[in-house]
Chain A
Amino acid sequence: MTIRNTRHSRWYLYIPLLIGLGLTVLPFVWMVSGAFKPQSEILSGEFTLLPENGTLRNFADLFTRVDFGSYFVNSVLVAVAVVLGNLIFCSMLGYALSKIEFPGRRALFAVVMTMLMVPTVVTFVPLFVLVTRMGLANTYGALILPFLATPLGVFIMRQFIREIPDSLIEAARLDGAGEFRIFFTIIIPLSGPALATLAILQFLSSWNEFLWPLVAAQTEDMYTLPVGIALISAGANTVNYGLLLAGATVIVLPILVLFLFLQRYFIQGISTTGLK
């Protein structure tokens, strides 16, 4: 592999690759730069990569002109709850499906995997009726509950736990350990990489989720970050780009930093499981 590549290196390919990479990254640069520009500079229609009169006004506006603090806290709370729920529930089911014989196991796995492809748009109307009937409309319960148990998590955990040697589990069983004890003392400590991948994927999809929180959160104090930003953008007649770009920066930058540090888990997770 390496030999082939070295022999047939094509240095000129760096040029289109660099241009492509520049174009890919440019929107992020433009976002951050615009977030620090005063309104007059944003509307001037001149290309200035760095703000001439840099300002933090847009970030301050996020907290004085809209309830951005609430959006942020809501997004964090929901994402953390969704991650924890999936770590617990998906690993439990993943262990049961891969290592324990129980009637209905195959059918359960088939049903869960079939739901992997079902889009939110198909379930959100009855889901709204359901949470309203439960008295949960416009609460954290409504934002969190539908995402606590996702098929993707089961898929990741089952694939990983399957590879844990049966002999290890059999030995513990012979020593008289029950299934729950085995789960907590053997399976969980050995599943670190899968749990990390699952945590990152779930955090990401919860942080970026839009359709359901848009439907479920009805008052501004329950909005998540994407809902807040989207409604500011859609609602106003004249768009306050400084405010929106500052908001977008707060949504995107933490994830980008996290990604740069944990890229292996991100890319592994996505390449084995697909999108989202």
Chain B
Amino acid sequence: MNPTANAPATAARHAVPHRRRRPAWRRRRALAGWLLALPFTALFAAFMIGPLGASLALSFTDATSRDLRTPFAVGFVGLSNFADLFTDEKFLRAVGNTLYFAGVGVPLTVAVAMLIALALNNGINRFRAFFRVGFYTPVVTSIVAIAVVWKYILEPDGLLNQGLAALGVTGPDWLHDTAFAMPSLILMAMWRNMGTLMIVFLAGLQGLPAEVYEAARMDGAGPFQRFRDLTLPLMRPTILLGCVLISVYYFQFFEEAFVMTGGGPLDSTLSITYFTYNQFGYGDYGHASAASYILAVAIALVTLVQFRVLRAKD
């Protein structure tokens, strides 16, 4: 923020006429500001803020698809939708599955992305850009399209099990086994999203002070020690950012399960978003909205907790 240096001088020179004219041009400029802001704000209010508020309101009602014609005639039911959800086994299952997906997926993705970033930053001199692009490609692809491909790969006689058979291992029916369906989805999510974190971490690593590493090396610190005592603490803010980005995303997982497992087998991959979508499909807008709000609050809380935990160690 550096306004023109001669602004005060100009103001002083025109002090008298300015004081009189000022409100007029101010008002005109403010009006221009509002006109420029208007189209976005109108669309934003109608299609985001409005629905966000309406969703909260719906979560306290018994609204169903039959109320579409008369949306204001629905009954107020207080917190009973939320109470229902917390005693609904299916919803609790969905909560557990979502926690499983994020709880395993986030650390795994962060770790793999960090390994790739470290190898690219410290180990090699050539082809860094080439590797970076290669590891990043899955990020730009449609999850639905790529889930179709992974479903094909994970078939009982698919590519993965052929590879395992070559090593003498008999692979399971990944997507139809309650124990393996979720790990399969996590594996695919890691494959698709590690590129994002790799880019974030690589940017962070390149900002680390080289002198400090030089000094540590002189003092005889090995590579592992340097990673633990220098890189990890220095990278804490970057890792935090990565965790937040990826958790917000993993908490909403849906497409993967929709295409690859349909939420099954036996609800073992049913996520909160999937549950919400199903409730909507049954026409139960009240419970769908309540479930989506629980997810939104959970995401906000996890973000806050991560900031706290990673900040606290500074």
| B contact residues around A133 at 8 Å (CB) | 68, 71
In B22-67, which residues have CB < 8 Å from any A CB? Answer: 26, 29-37, 39-41, 43-44, 46-52, 54-55, 58
At the interface, yes or no: B248 with Cβ under 8 Å from chain A?
A: yes
Given contacts A129-B285, A145-B43, are A100 and B32 in contact (CB under 8 A)?
Answer: yes
Name B119's contact: one of A17, A170, A215, A260 (CB within 8 Å): A17
- Shortest C-beta distance, A246 to chain B (Å), equals 10
In A243-276, which residues have CB < 8 Å from any B CB? Answer: 244-245, 247-248, 251-252, 255-256, 259-260, 263, 266-267, 270-271, 274-276
Contact of A21 with B135 in the complex, beta carbons under 8 Å: yes
Contact of B139 with A270 in the complex, beta carbons under 8 Å: yes
Q: How far is the CA of A268 from the CA of B210 in the complex (A)?
A: 24
At the interface, yes or no: B225 with Cβ under 8 Å from chain A?
A: no
Name B196's contact: one of A115, A241, A275 (CB within 8 Å): A275
Chain A proximity mask over B114-135: 1 for CB below 8 Å, otherwise 0: 0010011111110000011111
| B contact residues around A124 at 8 Å (CB) | 51, 280, 292
Chain A proximity mask over B127-170: 1 for CB below 8 Å, otherwise 0: 00001111111111111111111111100010100100000000
At the interface, yes or no: B199 with Cβ under 8 Å from chain A?
A: yes
Name B149's contact: one of A30, A101, A148 (CB within 8 Å): A30
Most buried by A among B48, B246, B248, B262: B48
| A contact residues around B71 at 8 Å (CB) | 129, 133
At the interface, yes or no: A28 with Cβ under 8 Å from chain B?
A: yes
Contact of B280 with A128 in the complex, beta carbons under 8 Å: yes
Q: Which residue of A lies closest to B295 (CB)?
A: A121
- Shortest C-beta distance, A172 to chain B (Å), equals 12
| A contact residues around B55 at 8 Å (CB) | 122-123, 125-126
Given contacts A117-B299, A225-B142, are A102 and B34 in contact (CB under 8 A)?
Answer: yes
Contact of B125 with A122 in the complex, beta carbons under 8 Å: no
Among the stretches B78-86, B99-107, B252-260, the one at the interface with A is: B252-260
- Shortest C-beta distance, A184 to chain B (Å), equals 11
Interface SS of chain B: helix
At the interface, yes or no: B177 with Cβ under 8 Å from chain A?
A: no
At the interface, yes or no: B87 with Cβ under 8 Å from chain A?
A: no
Given contacts A245-B148, A248-B149, are A117 and B303 in contact (CB under 8 A)?
Answer: yes
| B contact residues around A95 at 8 Å (CB) | 36
Q: Give how many A-B residue pairs fall within 8 Å (CB-CB).
A: 306
Q: Which residue of B lies closest to A148 (CB)?
A: B43
Q: Which residue of B lies closest to A90 (CB)?
A: B40
- Shortest C-beta distance, A2 to chain B (Å), equals 8
| A contact residues around B255 at 8 Å (CB) | 210-211, 226, 230
Contact of B200 with A271 in the complex, beta carbons under 8 Å: yes
| B contact residues around A251 at 8 Å (CB) | 141-142, 144-145
| B contact residues around A241 at 8 Å (CB) | 152
Contact of B32 with A93 in the complex, beta carbons under 8 Å: no
Among the stretches A8-16, A52-60, A61-69, A190-198, the one at the interface with B is: A8-16
Name A118's contact: one of B26, B30, B296 (CB within 8 Å): B296
Q: Which residue of B lies closest to A174 (CB)?
A: B10
At the interface, yes or no: B277 with Cβ under 8 Å from chain A?
A: yes
Name A126's contact: one of B50, B148, B191, B203 (CB within 8 Å): B50
In A5-32, which residues have CB < 8 Å from any B CB? Answer: 5-6, 8-11, 13-14, 16-17, 20-21, 24-28, 30-31
Contact of B124 with A14 in the complex, beta carbons under 8 Å: yes
Please name 11 further chain A to chain B contacts, defined as beta carbons within 8 Å, in addition to the given A47-B159, A123-B55, A259-B140, sorted by A numbering: A1-B210, A9-B125, A27-B149, A34-B152, A119-B252, A121-B292, A125-B280, A151-B44, A252-B145, A255-B142, A270-B139
Which residues of A line the B interface, CB within 8 A? 1, 4-6, 8-11, 13-14, 16-17, 20-21, 24-28, 30-31, 34, 45-47, 85, 88-90, 92-93, 95-97, 100-105, 108, 111-112, 115, 117-130, 132-133, 145-146, 148-149, 151, 154, 166-167, 170, 178-180, 183, 204, 207-208, 210-211, 214-215, 225-227, 229-230, 233-234, 239, 241, 244-245, 247-248, 251-252, 255-256, 259-260, 263, 266-267, 270-271, 274-276
User: Lowest 9 A-B CB distances belong to which pairs?
Assistant: A102-B33, A13-B123, A179-B32, A126-B54, A45-B157, A100-B33, A226-B144, A123-B51, A149-B43
